[in-house]
Amino acid sequence: MLEVDRKSNASSNGDDKKKKTKKNKWKRWGFITSVIAVIVAVYLNPWRHSFNYSLLHDYICSEDTCESTDIIEECCCDYESINDINGEVLHPLLQELVKTPFFRYFKVKLWCDCLFWPDDGMCRLRDCSVCECPENEFPESFKMPSLSILAKDDPVCQEGKPEATVDRTLDAKSFRGWVEIDNPWTHDDETDNGEMTYVNLQLNPEHHTGYRGPSARRIWEAIYSEYCPRYAYGETCPEKKVLYKLISGLHSSISSHIAADYLIDEANYKWGSNLQLMRDRVLKHFDRVENLYFTFLFVLRAVTKAAAYLDQAEYDSGNHVEDLRAQSLIHQLVHDSKLQDACALPFNEAELWQGQGGPILRQQIQDQFRNISALMDCVGCEKCRLWGKLQVLGLATSLQILFSVDDQGNPDPHLQLQRNEVIALINLLNRLSESLIFVAKTRDNVAINSPANGLFHRQWGSSIADWWKKLSESN
């Protein structure tokens, strides 16, 4: 019995030990799994970047650029500076500029000619359709044949230092009259005037049109699934991120304009802001807000890079006084000293296409962008199509300014822009600038229960810390 007892004691002692070891083992595993779960949760958490736009900062101004040149303050634009400079300088200037006759008439192929699927127009409101300009309304000078351009081998074109090409892509000598050339980043043939019509943008503001449902969804789905997929976390190729961020930023901007100018009461035709929509579609998602700022800085960089070219360009709409005003506003915009101080290099394009695969990657991304531009013909609401096309052409113009190359793959020192491209570029910058203003205005009103106010961060952060402390104590 004793023997048995001893045995049973021994065995129960052994069992206890085994149980303890087993328990410890489980505890250890539990601990390791929990640590992994925390890391995964932190890594996948879409709000892990705080609202101070650290991601944007990393992107716009990589450490390499800043450290090597030791000009961190000059080359980086932080979120607050962008808001300040936009509110004080850019937004007021752009609002004036887009009202001038030169910038308010846009040439566009409006009819729906979808390559991918037949139009299933889902537009419900009368505000969906575009009011085209009667023949006598748009400027005579816009109808005139384009001025001839100098041949590329003309001695005038050979001036300028080749080693300075990166930042002189569009120098003052580049402007030799407006030309009609096909933009390689878009699907439309911009030289085909037969299909084009003129639209007064001031009479056709971008706002809520009621366009939604399968037609609209299919376009965004096609864009994100086929032509600019969201890159995986950890993606190191910056070029692949650029396309997605540009489109997502544009999408945020479109959503902001819908929210800012919404038909709240259809029966009484009453318009106003839709804060719920703004919150759900834009403000709740940090990445979408960041991408909006990214797109704004990207386009701003294209405008500042083309400063000398834009300064030299002819703003001729036949209304001399208004044209002088347009010229002067452009001059103020591209040479504003506050802008230079706050944000000298909004985006550093020299960082891209550096690797061996650069040219192939560039071609690939250009093809993807062309497909996105072709999808604009499938937008089943005329006004949305007008603004979709204008803004995509504005992005294409920015891409053209920042990344155009000659036959040898070197930055193209003879790049010329079309009048319509410049109109699209400035109107796009104005639309993005308006979106930034609306984000800043609504952020505080609608962020109370959202992660954006930082409270969520603190609470989430402290609950993790508590949990972590408890776990460590139990071991």
Residue 178 in marked binding region: no
Residue 230 in marked binding region: no
Q: Based on CB atoms, which residue is closest to ligand FAD, 106 or 211?
A: 211
Q: At what angle do helices 382-403 and 358-375 cross, to 10 degrees?
A: 160
Q: Tell me which stretch binds ligand FAD (CB under 6 A): 209-217, 300-308, 434-442, 446-454.
A: 209-217
- Residue 211, classed as helix, strand or coil, is coil
112: annotated active-site residue: no
Residue 209 in marked binding region: yes
Q: At what angle do helices 238-260 and 382-403 cross, to 10 degrees?
A: 150
Q: Tell me which stretch binds ligand FAD (CB under 6 A): 23-31, 184-192, 202-210, 411-419.
A: 202-210
d(CA 411, CA 362) in angstroms, rounded, equals 13
Q: How far is the CB of 369 from ligand FAD (least distance, A)?
A: 14
Position 251 contacts ligand FAD (CB under 6 A): yes
Residue 186 in marked binding region: no
381: annotated active-site residue: yes
Residue 197 in marked binding region: no
* Per-residue buried b or exposed e for 148-178, using 16+ beta carbons within 10 Å of the residue's own CB: ebeeeeeeebeebeeeeeeebbbbebbbbeb
Contact mark string toward ligand FAD, 269..298, x via CB under 6 A: ------------x------x----------
Position 379 contacts ligand FAD (CB under 6 A): yes
Position 437 contacts ligand FAD (CB under 6 A): no
Q: Based on CB atoms, which residue is closest to ligand FAD, 178 or 369?
A: 369
Q: At what angle do helices 419-446 and 286-305 cross, to 10 degrees?
A: 150
Q: How far is the CB of 191 from ligand FAD (least distance, A)?
A: 24
Q: What is the DSSP string of 129-163?
A: S--BPPTTTS-HHHHSPPPP---TTSGGGG-S-GG
DSSP label of 405: B
The single residue among 66, 85, 384, 437 that binds ligand FAD, judged by CB under 6 A, is: 384
Q: What is the DSSP string of 157-200?
A: GG-S-GGGGGG-TT-GGG--S------TT-SS-TT-GGG-EEEE
Position 248 contacts ligand FAD (CB under 6 A): yes
Contact 108, 199 (CB under 8 A): yes
The single residue among 55, 254, 399, 426 that binds ligand FAD, judged by CB under 6 A, is: 254
Per CB under 6 A, residues contacting ligand FAD are: 206, 208-209, 211-212, 216-217, 219-220, 248, 251-252, 254-255, 258, 281, 288, 376, 379, 384, 387-388
Q: Which residues are catalytic?
A: 381, 384
